């Protein structure tokens, strides 16, 4: 039986910040970058940055650094942003609508192919150019054109049922924005985003530093 590759989650979470900084440097015609510069920008030790870049397979030059464009492409490839991923979003409320309007997703290789909602006032309207379909049309449509990713922005009470239906259609990866820990088979992957978790950390930092 094959083993799942263990992901270096902290390094993966740092990669987008490296990527965005490198793009800015490239736009400023900075052709070479050192780990020292990026470490200072990120508030890290240079050795951590160097080990992160080793994961991408890119090679730097001793005493010189990395070629900016090579590092950008190495990170893009490592994160899988160089391949198009079709996404289906369910729940076109405030959060879902905001995600649909985030134009940088295309830079990360993600393309919205379907949007579904249960609200009659949203059905057959367009949000940021994306047609919103009746959620009752989801199963037959996804059986015809299966997306790579399901994005869940529905209330927690409906999230599991929506995911179950999508799994039955063959969807195997989910980005979960609902306040529910989804129950899925072993061959399905879920990335849960807990927005309140970030706010909780910020609140504790404010409390710890006695800012408020």
| pLDDT at res. 2 | 45
Same domain (yes/no): 188, 118: yes
Distances (CA, A) of 185 to 124, 126, 163: 33, 33, 11
Average pLDDT (155-174) is 98
Give the pLDDT band of residue 210 (cuts 50, 70, 90).
Answer: low
| pLDDT at res. 211 | 60
Question: Does residue 95 have a known ligand-binding role?
Answer: yes
Which CATH number fits the domain that encloses residue 116? 3.40.50.720
| pLDDT at res. 207 | 86
| pLDDT at res. 162 | 98
Question: Does residue 43 have a known ligand-binding role?
Answer: no
**Residue 209 above 80 pLDDT?**
no
| pLDDT at res. 3 | 47
Which CATH number fits the domain that encloses residue 71? 1.10.10.10
For residue 114, what are the domain limits?
Answer: 85-196
Residue (of 94, 166, 162) closest to 127 by Cα position: 94
Query: Which tokens is 75 given?
Result: 């990170």
Same domain (yes/no): 93, 158: yes
Residue 101: inside a domain: yes
User: The whole model's pTM is what?
Assistant: 0.90
d(CA 119, CA 80): 34
- State the DSSP H helix or E strand holding residue 23, giving kind and residue range, or none if neither: helix 9-27
Query: Which tokens is 159 given?
Result: 């999230």
d(CA 103, CA 128): 10
Average pLDDT (26-31) is 96
d(CA 140, CA 186): 24
Provide the residue count of the chain.
212
**Residue 168 above 70 pLDDT?**
yes
**Residue 1 above 50 pLDDT?**
no
**Residue 121 above 60 pLDDT?**
yes
Helix (H, G, I), strand (E, B), or coil: what is residue 127? Answer: strand
Give the chain's radius of gyration (CA, Å): 20
| pLDDT at res. 60 | 87
Residue 96: inside a domain: yes
Residue 3: inside a domain: no
The residue whose two tokens read 């997306």 is: 147
Distances (CA, A) of 37 to 13, 22, 137, 205, 206: 19, 11, 51, 27, 29
Give the pLDDT band of residue 5 (cuts 50, 70, 90).
Answer: low
d(CA 212, CA 209): 8
d(CA 82, CA 196): 31
Cα 210 → chain centroid = 33
Question: Does residue 77 have a known ligand-binding role?
Answer: no
Same domain (yes/no): 24, 46: yes
d(CA 92, CA 89): 7
> How does pLDDT run across 87-106, given as a tens digit for each residue?
999 999 999 999 999 999 99
Question: Does residue 87 have a known ligand-binding role?
Answer: no
Give the pLDDT band of residue 138 (cuts 50, 70, 90).
Answer: very high
Distances (CA, A) of 109 to 8, 79, 114: 21, 10, 16
Residue 161, CB-side half-sphere exposure with 13 Å CA sphere: 9
Question: Does residue 92 have a known ligand-binding role?
Answer: yes
Calculate the average pLDDT of the chain. Answer: 94
Same domain (yes/no): 180, 164: yes
Same domain (yes/no): 111, 185: yes
Residue 104: inside a domain: yes
Residue 108: inside a domain: yes
Question: Does residue 94 have a known ligand-binding role?
Answer: yes
Average pLDDT (58-79) is 93
Residue 147: inside a domain: yes
């Amino acid at each position: 039986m094959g083993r799942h590759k263990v992901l270096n989650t902290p390094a993966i979470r740092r990669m987008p910040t490296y990527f965005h900084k490198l793009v800015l440097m490239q736009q400023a015609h900075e052709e070479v970058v050192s780990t020292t510069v990026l470490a200072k920008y990120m508030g890290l030790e240079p050795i951590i940055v160097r080990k992160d870049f080793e994961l991408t397979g890119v090679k730097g030059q001793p005493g010189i650094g990395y070629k900016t464009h090579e590092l950008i492409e190495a990170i893009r490839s490592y994160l899988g942003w160089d391949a198009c991923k079709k996404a289906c979003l369910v729940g076109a409320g405030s959060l879902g609508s905001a995600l649909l309007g985030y134009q940088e997703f295309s830079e990360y290789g993600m393309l919205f192919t379907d949007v579904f909602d249960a609200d009659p006032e949203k059905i057959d309207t367009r949000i940021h150019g994306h047609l919103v379909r009746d959620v009752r049309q989801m199963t037959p449509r996804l059986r015809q054109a299966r997306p790579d990713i399901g994005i869940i922005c529905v209330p927690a009470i409906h999230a599991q049922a929506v995911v179950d239906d999508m799994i039955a259609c063959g969807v195997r990866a989910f980005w979960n924005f609902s306040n529910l820990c989804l129950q899925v088979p072993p061959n399905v992957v879920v990335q849960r985003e807990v927005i309140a978790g970030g706010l909780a950390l910020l609140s504790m930092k404010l409390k710890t530093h006695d800012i408020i």
